[in-house]
Amino acid sequence: MSEAARISDQLRRAFEGEAWHGDSLFEILQGLTAAQAAARPIKNGHTIWELVLHIAAWDGAVLRRMGGAAVTLSDEENFPSVTDVSEAAWRTALAQVRRVHAELVAAAAVLPDSRLGDMVPGKEGAHYTFYYMLHGVVQHELYHAGQIALLKKM
């Protein structure tokens, strides 16, 4: 198995399940209603829904960077606003993050190992490699999964 395929597997595990540490992001999200996802139990903190959209935004940014684009997210792209808090909108948000993440996992799985040491394109100049960025995505998903797990208990 290539190193890129192993990283892809870790991305999948952090998101879908069979992670070494415990529950994955989607195992934590299982059964949440739109009302629970939109709740803001910590004043000025992010909601679960906002965190899910944030994860989708960064998975998409990393995917575009893997395609050669120099991507920087605006504040609104980084944490998109939630304006419709219906169950249908929540299901759409979950489907969106699943779709973008699946595309990222698939792209990482076929990334040639020879590209892992390449610098990521950036407007301010590249300062890290694809290897570093892909491991960072795994860490990012688990970091926010932990936040979501705590918010879910509130």
In angstroms, rounded to a whole number, what is the distance separating the alpha carbons of residues 144 and 54? 9
pLDDT confidence of residue 123: 64
pLDDT in tens, 59-110: 999 999 999 999 889 999 999 999 999 999 999 999 999 999 999 999 999 9
Based on its alpha-carbon atoms, the radius of gyration of the chain, rounded to whole angstroms, reads 16
**Which homologous superfamily is 3-153 in?**
dinb family like domain (1.20.120.450)
What is the reported pTM? 0.93
Q: What share of the chain is helix, strand, coil (3-state, %, to 5)?
A: 65, 0, 35
The tens digit of pLDDT for each residue in 32-51 reads: 999 999 999 999 999 999 99
Here the tokens at position 142 are: 């688990």
Q: Which of 37, 33, 64 is nearest to 51 (CA)?
A: 37
Q: Which residue has the tokens 């803001």?
A: 40
Domain boundaries, given as residue ranges, for the chain:
3-153
Among 136, 125, 119, CA closest to 66: 119
Q: Place 21 in a pLDDT band, splitting at 50, 70 and 90.
A: confident
Q: How confident is the model at residue 125 (pLDDT cuts 50, 70, 90)?
A: low
